[in-house]
Every structure is written in structure tokens, then in C-alpha cells.
Amino acid sequence: MAARDRKTALSTHLKHAILTTAIRPGADLDEAAICGAFELSRTPVREVFRELAGLGYVDLRDNRGPRVSDLSHTTLRDFFLAAPMIYGAILRLAAHNATDVQIQALRGAQETFRAALRVGSTPDRTLANNRFHEITGEMAGNIYLLPSFHRLLIDHARISMTFYRPENSTMAENVSEASRQHDAIIDAIAARDEAAAAHLAEDHWNLSRHQIERFVMPSALDLPMGSHARP
């Protein structure tokens, strides 16, 4: 196996492990251990760290090891402020710009997501959901919105992994509802219906928000940004 492949393997492994919280938010990454595990020298490993830092997966501090980016109370609040706006814009643009090939890819991702709901583990479900939304980002194809969108997706995945309990029937029902919303999103994009796509984006994030609010949020959220995006 070539070093180049081991490097990309490391990159995707870390991304998946962080998205599924297999590596917890705030955890330190051991450079030496990773070098050993992936048979890479320090140079390429450190380059992967830099890339992941640019994408928002990890934080780099001087003279200290990299740390998985944190999920604090503050970031949760920021998340619910920014998500409705960015996600609405992404889905609106996706409905406007999506190619037929991309729509087929989105259907495929939704199939994978449904399969993960039936037989997969919670991390499987999270990664499949993440992939679904990544594709909507590719459809939108706006290089200025994608950086924020990707950061939102990272923490959306991690928040879901943190607070989701499969044994809770209400949560299981919410996930089914999310799957139905995915189907509606695909239909809106295929029909090039921007307004419907934007509306579904709001519904989809509200579903997440209510689920998390019910179980973890300590205090009320006022949403000036949401009212800005949709008065």
C-alpha cells in the first residue's frame, strides 16, 4: 500500500471518527501513535492535521498537540443561529443548480441512509445522513457558503451522536420523520422548486432543534437569525 493511500486513509478515518464522536470533542490526538498505526512518518501526519484544522475538525495550538474541536454550550447556540440560514440557502441553491447526475447521487445517498436506519449502527446512520447533506452542498456549489456549511455538518453529526438514544421511541420516530423529509427534499430539488426546498430546510433543522432542545438545551433559544432569514 502506497504512502499516499495511507495518508488519505488516515484523513478519512479521522474525519469519520470525529464525526461519530469515536474520538470525543476536545480529545487530544497523539501524533506518535497515529504515525505508528498508519505507518506514516510525522511529516504527512502533521499535514493531515493542518488540513483537518482548515476544515474545522481539529484545533491546532502552538507547541501543543492537536485537539478535536470542542462542542461547548456556546457552539451549540451558534449552531442553531447559523444553521437555518445557511442550510436554507444551500437547499435553495441546490434546487436551482442540481444536475441530474447529482440528483441520482442524492437518491443513492438516501437509499444508504434508509438502509442504515433499518440495519445499521448509530454511527452508520450519522455518516449516511452526513453524506446526504454533503451532496446537497455539492449541488449548491457556492464556494463561499460551503466552508460554513461543512462546519455545520460536522457539528450536526456530532450533536446527533451525542444526544441520540436509539432506545428512546420519540427519537426513533424523529429519525423516521427526518428520512421522510429527505425524500421531500429530493422531490423539491428534482422539481427545481427553490421555495419548497428552502421551506423543507427550515422544517428539517427545526426537527433537529426540537429534538435537542427537549433533551439537553438548558434555556430557551431566541433566534434572531432565523427570523432574519424567514420573517
Partner DNA sequence: ATTATCCATTGCGTATACAAAGTGTATTCT
Partner DNA sequence: AGAATACACTTTGTATACGCAATGGATAAT
Q: Where are the alpha helices (DSSP H) in the chain?
A: 3-19, 31-38, 42-55, 73-97, 100-119, 122-140, 146-163, 169-190, 194-215, 224-229
Taking CB under 8 A as the criterion, the residue among 1, 5, 12, 231 binding its own copies is 231
46 binds DNA (CB under 7 A): yes
Among 1, 12, 62, 218, binds DNA (CB under 7 A): 62
Do 3 and 35 contact (CB within 8 A), yes or no? no
Is residue 138 part of the contact set for its own copies (CB under 8 A)?
no
The entry of DNA, its own copies, none near residue 59 (CB within 5 to 8 angstroms by kind) is none
Among 31, 35, 78, 199, binds its own copies (CB under 8 A): 78
Residue 65: which of its own copies, DNA, none does it interact with, CB under 5 to 8 A by kind? Answer: DNA
Residue number with CB closer to DNA (41 or 169): 41
31 belongs to the binding site for DNA (CB under 7 A): yes
Binding mask of the shown chain, residues 18 to 57, with x at each position contacting its own copies by CB under 8 A: -------------------------x--xx--xx-xxxx-
Q: Minimum distance from CB of 56 to its own copies (Å)?
A: 7
Query: For residues 82 and 222, is the Cβ–Cβ distance under 8 A?
Result: no
- Which of 117, 140, 141, 138 shows the shortest CA–CA distance to 127? 117
CA distance 14 to 8: 10
Scanning residues 183 to 202, which ones bind DNA (CB under 7 A)? none
CA angle in degrees (0–180, nearest 5) for 222-185-177: 70
Identify the DSSP state of 22. Answer: S
Gyration radius (Cα) of the chain, Å: 18
- CA pair distance 42, 49, nearest whole angstrom: 10
Interface residue list for DNA (CB under 7 A) = 2-4, 7, 30-32, 39-44, 46-47, 62-65
* Binding site residues, its own copies, CB under 8 A: 43, 46-47, 50-51, 53-56, 75, 78-79, 81-83, 85-86, 88-89, 92-93, 96, 141-152, 155, 194, 198, 224-225, 228-229, 231
